[in-house]
Structure 1
Amino acid sequence: MRTQVAIIGAGPSGLLLGQLLHKAGIDNIIVERQSGDYVLGRIRAGVLEQVTTDLMLEVGVGERMLKEGLPHGGFDMLFDGARHRIDLEALTGGKRVTVYGQTEVTRDLMEAREKVGRTTVYEAANVQVLDYDTAKPRVTYEKDGQTHTIECDFIAGCDGFHGVCRASVPRGAIREFEKVYPFGWLGMLADTPPVHHELIYVRSERGFALCSQRSHTRSRYYLQVPLTDKVEAWSDDAFWNELRLRLDPEAAARLVTGPGLEKSIAPLRSFVTEPLRFGRMFLAGDAGHIVPPTGAKGLNLAATDVKYLSTAITEFYQERSEAGIDGYSERCLKRIWRAERFSWWFTGIMHNFPEDGPIVAKLQQAELDYLIHSEHGRRTIAENYVGLPLNFGES
């Protein structure tokens, strides 16, 4: 097979890149090691920045998002037993976020790709990326007992943290920066009405909690738990009881409980790879960086990556310019490190770090008290939460 761009990974970043390239008239093939059903079965966050919703609309897959997504003009921060609203629209000149599950984003992009007839190879085994440091990269994979080869001009590594693309780079050509947090998020999805019409971020003496949602009838809740905890040890009743203890009295009284549809524990880490370009292979999304979910940046950063990458590749074909691909890594990393900083900072002030002693808890309380009572402090939170513009900091 021959294509212009071989995309490894059929998650939202790979699928969005495929649609952006298709819109520019650039041929592409997506290779995914899992089945389509498996990809759709992944439960992930769903707070979309304006940049991401704009990209969905740009590639023509935003109709259902506009109909079913929940626009949020603010969110609550709960600490010291009281809730404080961060008014995103007032603090950022009318910007807001949209709550729309990552699973739904993936589904919309899958259906759009199928409609335009672009090739996606699911359940591809033993995927390898070869000769990416030459002008003739190749991707090989096994399917139905046969080995297949894709010849291409570029390889886009959208295959996640554990994917083959980053793992194929020689260790001497790459730097990895990582911080692993000493706790995880226990998440539960339930067909119950949300406890509040907007998200509530909770800092309590018992640990962090997040009250999120997928729709007016489906909720997603999270609890900070030790990494040693096992999902099996958390019954639905135990989860609801612990969540209630971390909420303020009004929210606790409004909490509607029910059977959990899905329950899992996700570790938290900050991770960045430098660089993101290796010859004619580029890393995007979780293949190149991971952020703690506290700041809702993961999917949004991935969307920005592939926007930059699609623009660079389009310039290569339409303008015969390599400036975009030469600058891809540096351009992405500027934005990535800003998002990493916000996610690290927000995680640091909202979670319990018992190993650091009581002084840290006091400092967190002082920091939160300052932020909430300072317009500049609230604006800092709001501007980062809604997402920085695509060209932020560029001359």
Structure 2
Amino acid sequence: MPSLLAALRLRALIKEVFAELELLKSASSGEVVAVLEEIAKTNPYYARTFLGEYVDWLEANPEEEVDESQEEGSKEKDDTVEETVSELGGLTIGNRDSDEKDGTTILEEDNDDLTKTDLKQTASTTSSPTKNTLETDPYELLCSLLSAKPLTPTTPDLLQYPIDDSTWVSIQETPRVISGQGTTGARTWNAALLLALLLNTESRFEGAFEDSTILELGAGTGLVSAALAKKWSQHNPRKIIITDGDAGVVEKLPLTVELNGVESHDIECVQYLWGETQLDEKVDVVLGADIVYDPSVLGILLDTLAGFFDAGAQYAIISRSDRNPETTRQWEKQCNERFEREVIRVEDPVKSTFNTPVLKYYWPFATGAAITYGLIWKAAGAMQDTDEFINDPRHPRFANGGKFIDLEKK
């Protein structure tokens, strides 16, 4: 999919979109209007604000000047994540730290009446390639949205996140809310975007979840689990258990499952309190994104992971963001005390031009965001040390399962 369409579906800041000329040229006006019609169902003010500037841009840049190279070759599916990422690396998405003048607040009155059917229709539309024909006149669409007004930032929106070259996950969230009712589970965080992409595109994870029971800790909006579920036939897990410690967040997780059309699979949404909840079934793989957020939670988190390992879990995959140096220091210290650990430092994915398979799987995180991604391997038992694995330049060299692999920004 052209990058402009991805930026709109991720609610990139409008002022930043219009600062990127090549980004604006990456989609035809017909494609843009089709996506804005989708967005208008849940966020009419954003659609109106973008379209108001876009029609002016169209007048100043006749259609024949728009780069339609994306259309050549009759592409039948979305463009690759790599193409989209390379052009969107500096954009701020999800209305983060934005203001009403940029079209980032949505119309509460209309959204309160949205039904699950409305949301599922919007989500299913997004999963299909956008038509290039200009079926709706942009001026007519703009006129129909003139009454849209920005109200509360707490009203949910429906965002779409890419998880490979042709698949999107739809999430209903409140992206401008950092903490809603005492939880950070109201929005999708950067580390979850990275982990969802890696699990579905990095060759290291090919076959890693075959016939496995997967549990996600602190799932929040459920992006990571939904990303695996959308690619069920690729990963072929036995079951996915989506958990969070907040009961209100857990109540919303079934909607994520339903919006993405994966409710027919064996997926369970449960409240899981670290150090307290006991599960009756064996978990093979533990996932976690942005769950390392404060020194006070590290001990109980490591205890929880150790408990899974003792019960037979094969490994845990943790993706985290470096926000607080003290949290990072304590995380490293406590992990070193309990696990054999190896640190891999990588370039800032937004700024790096070093083209490696690992670094290309970032997404348009907020400028300056530091993303880390780690693997915690069971502290007992050997992992086969093969030449094929060691000689793979994408992965660190290690000889057994007693290693903690942690990627950090240089």
What's the TM-score, normalizing by structure 2?
A: 0.23
Q: Which structure is higher in helix share?
A: 1
What's the TM-score, normalizing by structure 1?
A: 0.24
